[in-house]
Each structure stands twice: as C-alpha cells, then as structure tokens.
Structure 1
Amino acid sequence: MVSTLEITQVSKSFKNNNGSVHVLDQLDLSVKDGEFVTIIGPSGCGKSTLLKLIAGLDLDFQGHIEVGSQEVHGPSKDRGFIFQEHRLFPWLTTEKNIASNLSLKDPDVRQRVDDLIALVNLKGFEKAYPRQLSGGMSQRVAIARALLRNPKILLLDEPFGALDAFTRSHLQEALHHIWESNKTTMVLVTHDIDESVFLSSRVVVMDSKPGRIKAIVPIDIPYPRKRTSKSFQEFRTVILEHLDHKINEKEDFSI
C-alpha cells in the first residue's frame, strides 16, 4: 500500500532563556494511504508539535517529512488541520463556513458543500450561524471545511477534548463514519485511550523528554467496534501498560 505520510529522523527543539528544550528526538513513522493513526502520550511529549510540523505550520526542525511523496515546505491544501476549538467564522453560516473563500455560486463548489453537509449529518443547518450550533455540530462543520479541498491527509489535534463525554462519544462515531465514507488518511492526537482504540488502525504511543515513539500498536479489531467487547478491553490494557509509568507519575490520561 502507498504511503501518504513519511516521517524520517525528525527532531525538534525549542529555544528558551535557559538554552533549548529537546521536544522530539529522531522520529520515524510511515502512514499508509487511507489509514487512521492515533498518536497518544503524556503531556509535553510533542504530539501536537509533531502535528504542526506535518501541517507545515513550523519548519524549524531536523529530518524529513513527506506527504504524498512531496517534501513539506509549508502549509498546503493537501493537509487539512482540525484544532481543538472549531475556529468557525461567527459571521458566516454553516454552508459559507464550509465553502470558506470559495463561491457557493460555483455549481461544483455548491455540490461539494452539499455533499459534505450530508456526510457530517448537518442537513437542515445550512443557514445556521455558529452561535446557533452545539460544540459537536461546530466541530463537524470544521471537519467538513477541512475536507472541502480533498486533502491527502487530515490532521486532528484533540478535536473533541473540550466536549462533554456524551458528545465526544457521538463525534467519535461520526468521525469514524466520515473516515469510512471518504477514505481520507487521518492522524489524530488524543489523550483518550478509548478514543484511540475505537478509531484507529494503529496507535502510536509516545514517551517524553524528549518525545520518542515508544510503541506502535496495531488495533486488529473489525469495525464497528464495541467498547465493552473483550478484544477492545485487551487492546486498551496493552496501551495502558505502555503508558503505565507515566500514569503512575499522575499524568492526565482519560481512562
């Protein structure tokens, strides 16, 4: 299978008043076309930093990152990015937020926006403004907007972290539906172990200080997955064991 993302010997440091902080250390990771990969690890291990490097939002690093066989030299429409906050324009309706700077008068854009509204299950809310939407609905608008230009990869930085447990569970199911329907390669950063097992083809477990890949766990459970199943709990335990020493240090994990 063709790789959408290739990360080779990537290291990253931040300068501060005391010198520099080594955040990422010689990361190697390959993500296949159409794969759903989750990155999990303790606070400060560089998960979100890595996502920003892939997105091209920070180019001050060592090593190589390729998306679709093209070296990352900055932001690109090939890489969609979803933040924890939906970041919708409050003065635009759902359909106009999705279309962004493209005109809905263009028949192709109109059709694509309509298809995405159906995909994220927001029919009937095309004319609604962000203030009229729930947090979960707003994140679905943000996901649809990121998918408009058919990115090769969708990067999600804890997109459901600010939502309540019920909404979060519902959005996880919605994201899985979007992934299965659209076949977009996805890389998700999360603190939620259940979320990682529920969604992922593979879970990348990171260690910190500096951030390194500690383990990669293939989640060999057929979809749809049941959180109460024995196999689900077994994979959950495997990931917990990889993170166990950090949990004992009272790191913040959703378990």
Structure 2
Amino acid sequence: MTSEVLVIDDLNKVFSAPTGNVVALEHIQLKVQQGEFITIIGPSGCGKSTLLKIVAGIDTEYEGSVTLHGKPIEGPSIEKGFIFQEPRLFPWLTVEKNIAANLSLKNPEVRKKVDELIELVRLQGFEQSYPRELSGGMAQRVAIARALLRNPDVLLLDEPFGALDAFTRSHLQEVLLDIWQKNRTTMLFVTHDLDEAVFLGQRVIIMNPRPGHIRNILPIGLPFPRKRASHSFQELRHIVLKEFEKVEEPLLDQGAGI
C-alpha cells in the first residue's frame, strides 16, 4: 500500500520585479506517493525550478501549504536531496571525498556507504580522481551519489542531464532508473526533454507559464525497462506531445528561467 510522502496544497509564489510583481506559481496542487518517480516539463519561465526549490526548503516565501510526511517544509534538511543542472563539486576533493562531503571517511559506516554509492553510480576505479579529471557525465554521477548519501526521502533533480551529449544523457537515465529501482527513493525530475520525461516518469506533469500552473498530469503506465523504439512508448510519447502542444506560450520574456 502506497502512502503520500509529499503534499502541495494551493501553492502560490510571487516575485517582485522592477515593472511589478511576477506570479511564478499559482494554485499548485500535487500529491506524491512514497517511491514515485515524477517528471515535470514545461517552457522556460513556468516555475519548474522554483517549485523544486520550494520543496527543497531553499525558498520559503510563498503562500499555501507544502508538507513532507505531514510536516510543513520550513527549510533545507537531510530528508531532501537536491541535484542542480551542474554538478557543483569541490575541485580540491577527490570523488570519494566529494561524495562524503563534510563526513569523515574514517567512519566505518560512512566508508561503507560511500563505497556502495560509488558502485551504484558506476564509478569504480575513479575514487581518487579529481573533478578536473572527470567527464561531465561522471561529475554528475558524483553529484547524484552525494545527494543519496544521507538517504533522502525525496530526491529533487533540476535538469541534471541538460548539458550532456545525447549518448551520455541516455546512459545516465539508465543509471538513475537503476538507482531508483534499487532504493525506491521518491523523485521529482525537471526536464525540457519530452522523451526523457516519458522514459523516466511514472507520471508526467505538464506546466503552463504566466502564471505557472499545472496544466495536466499524465500517467505513464509502461513497465520498466522501457524501450524508446517500442510502439507503446511512441504512442504514449504522442499523447504527451499533443498535450504539451496545448501549452500556452508566455507573453513576456520577463522572469524566464524562474
């Protein structure tokens, strides 16, 4: 039996701008089940990243209710992991020390967990490498492992593969799904890539801009592993594409990338 881990109730977010207030998010309603993988797509400026930051507790200035396990989210915590568009690694630390972050590898429990994560994200043999010696995809795998170190209840991913080439992106999608299937960590994944949204998500949230709101939530009933070339995948992709084509274009460039 599944249970709700994250509940967003009538969320509204307004930014102040020189020409007046910008409504970034309006009347967001969402319930996320424990262990669910949700992908979020929408045009630039629709508030996708803002939504993740609110769930992460990075942004606490909003109206409405956002709760994790029934408790209001009041700030960042180890219950929520966040992966940005770029890896944000410490250049002076090795792979294993970047994953451990401020925890000591001399602690047997930390050592064991870091070793397990290195294997999980397929970085065996690169434990002593520095970020400058890693490819973009490898660096992002380090960021994923670091976010998983403290066993977060929810993992928030803000276009983590957006800057990668198609081959690396496809490979890391497989790695992420492998992690999700093994750990069943609840995931909210923001992307601009429709194929990526359908390939990863159990539900796809489609957002409209100005003000940002949820246009539709589409279930993706395909079993894993998914094959992009399959007829069933292409059918679902077409359904999501047709719905996405209905998304209203933003009237102004102000606030794009919110």
For the aligned pair, the TM-score class normalised by the smaller chain equals over 0.9
**Cα distance in structure 2, aligned partners of 1:210 and 1:234:** 30
**Cα distance in structure 2, aligned partners of 1:37 and 1:164:** 23
Partner secondary structure for residue 60 of structure 1 = coil
Question: Is the contact between residue 155 and residue 188 of structure 2 (CA under 8 Å) also seen in structure 1?
Answer: yes
Partner secondary structure for residue 7 of structure 1 = strand
* Residue equivalent to 2:200: 199
Cα distance change of structure 1 residues 248 and 69 upon mapping to structure 2, 3 Å threshold:
closer
Partner secondary structure for residue 66 of structure 2 = strand
Identity rate, percent: 59
Q: How does 1:9-158 map to 2 (within 5 A)?
A: 9-158=10-159
Partner secondary structure for residue 16 of structure 2 = strand
**Equivalent residue letter for 1:120:** V
**Equivalent residue letter for 1:129:** Y
Question: Is the contact between residue 68 and residue 152 of structure 1 (CA under 8 Å) also seen in structure 2?
Answer: no
**Cα distance in structure 2, aligned partners of 1:245 and 1:227:** 23
**Equivalent residue letter for 1:64:** S
* Residue equivalent to 1:252: none
Cα deviation, residue 154, structure 1: 0.2
**Cα distance in structure 1, aligned partners of 2:115 and 2:109:** 10
How many pairs align?
249
Q: TM-score, normalised by structure 2?
A: 0.94
* Residue equivalent to 1:190: 191
**Cα distance in structure 1, aligned partners of 2:12 and 2:172:** 33
Cα deviation, residue 243, structure 1: 1.4
Cα deviation, residue 67, structure 1: 1.3
Question: Is the contact between residue 122 and residue 137 of structure 1 (CA under 8 Å) also seen in structure 2?
Answer: yes
Partner secondary structure for residue 240 of structure 1 = helix
Q: How does 1:159-198 map to 2 (within 5 A)?
A: 159-198=160-199
Provide runs of 4+ in structure 1 moved above 6 Å: none
* Residue equivalent to 2:8: 7
Gaps of 5+ in 1: 250-255
**Cα distance in structure 1, aligned partners of 2:183 and 2:72:** 24
Cα deviation, residue 144, structure 1: 0.3
Question: Is the contact between residue 96 and residue 104 of structure 1 (CA under 8 Å) also seen in structure 2?
Answer: yes
**Equivalent residue letter for 1:9:** D
Cα deviation, residue 248, structure 1: 8.2
Cα deviation, residue 43, structure 1: 1.0
Gaps of 5+ in 2: 251-258
RMSD: 1.2
**Cα distance in structure 2, aligned partners of 1:117 and 1:137:** 11
Partner secondary structure for residue 64 of structure 2 = strand
**Cα distance in structure 1, aligned partners of 2:248 and 2:127:** 43
**Cα distance in structure 2, aligned partners of 1:100 and 1:2:** 31
**Cα distance in structure 1, aligned partners of 2:235 and 2:81:** 32
After superposition, the C-alpha distances for 1:162-204 in whole angstroms (9 at most, x for unaligned) are 0011111111111111111111000000000110111111000
**Equivalent residue letter for 2:116:** D
